[in-house]
Chains A and B, each alone.
Chain A
Amino acid sequence: QVQLQESGPGLVKPSQTLSLTCSVSGDAISNRAVYWTWVRQRPGQGLEWIGHIYYIGDTHYNPSLASRLTISVDTSKNQLSLRLSSVTVADTAVYYCARVRRNSYYSLDVWGQGTTVTVSS
């Protein structure tokens, strides 16, 4: 059974860098059949794709976030990470990591439970 678990600080100050980690169990980060992605959901809003990464390090970012965003993987720890710099209150959201199955029409078939991040001074 594949499980994803997000972790990170629940509170970040404006202008600082948000760092989150997603620990993967039941699958390998180096699985060639999947991408690993981050999605966020602002309070009361819909889902926003942040970006995704392939295990070899190829990344695709949402253009609206690309200048502030870094997504990486650590195959030794079976984790993926997100760093978002210069955060503002608009970055307050629940952040999800998810698995994208390439052979299931690139659908997000497994999701973490999400972690709430609040940007506030």
Chain B
Amino acid sequence: EIVLTQSPGTLSLSPGERATLSCRASQRVSSSYLAWYQQKPGQAPRLLIYGASNRATGIPDRFSGSGSGTDFSLTINRLEPEDFAVYYCQQYGGSPPISFGPGTKVDI
């Protein structure tokens, strides 16, 4: 079973600052099957990054993803007020085939 760990649990920042979120897997995530999602209160998650570093359609370029193997990160440059939310990483290919990390809350 691949377990995803996200850190920190909460990130307190101000608009305009940079956020760096970490996602660590207990085993290698094959072929960079790692995605990032943003979720705001009362809303469904929204895909931000797939394949570890590819921005999904319509996602601003201040969002970027990197990493491989077991260590991945999501960077948000110049935080906008609408970026304050919870962020989840997700892997595919382990057992179970899909799993999510516990989330990182980015708040003001």
Give the docked Cα–Cα distance between A63 and B1 (Å): 11
Q: Tally the A-B contacts, defined by beta carbons under 8 Å.
A: 71
Q: Which of A47, A60, A114 contacts B88 (CB 8 A)?
A: A47
Q: Which of B35, B96, B97, B99 contacts A107 (CB 8 A)?
A: B35
Q: Are A114 and B50 in contact (CB under 8 A)?
A: no
A84-101 interface mask toward B, CB cutoff 8 Å, 1 = contact, 0 = none?
Answer: 000000000000100011
Q: Are B45 and A111 in contact (CB under 8 A)?
A: yes
Listed stretches B17-25, B67-75, B100-108; interface member = B100-108
Interface hits, A62-121 → B, CB 8 Å:
62-63, 96, 100-101, 104-109, 111-114
Q: Are B51 and A105 in contact (CB under 8 A)?
A: yes
Task: Tell me the smallest distance from the CB of B83 to a CB of chain A, in Å.
Answer: 19
Give the docked Cα–Cα distance between A49 and B45 (Å): 13
Q: Which of A46, A100, A105, A106 contacts B102 (CB 8 A)?
A: A46
Q: Which of B46, B50, B88, B103 contacts A104 (CB 8 A)?
A: B50
Give the docked Cα–Cα distance between A62 and B1 (Å): 11
Task: Tell me the smallest distance from the CB of B61 to a CB of chain A, in Å.
Answer: 18
Give the docked Cα–Cα distance between A39 and B88 (Å): 13
Chain A residues with Cβ below 8 Å from B45 are: 47, 96, 108, 111
Q: Which of A62, A100, A106, A107 contacts B56 (CB 8 A)?
A: A107
Q: List 27 A-B contacts (CB under 8 A).
A: A37-B98, A39-B100, A46-B88, A46-B100, A46-B101, A47-B100, A47-B103, A48-B100, A49-B100, A60-B96, A96-B44, A96-B45, A100-B98, A104-B51, A105-B34, A105-B35, A106-B33, A106-B92, A107-B47, A107-B51, A107-B92, A108-B35, A108-B47, A109-B47, A109-B56, A111-B45, A114-B44
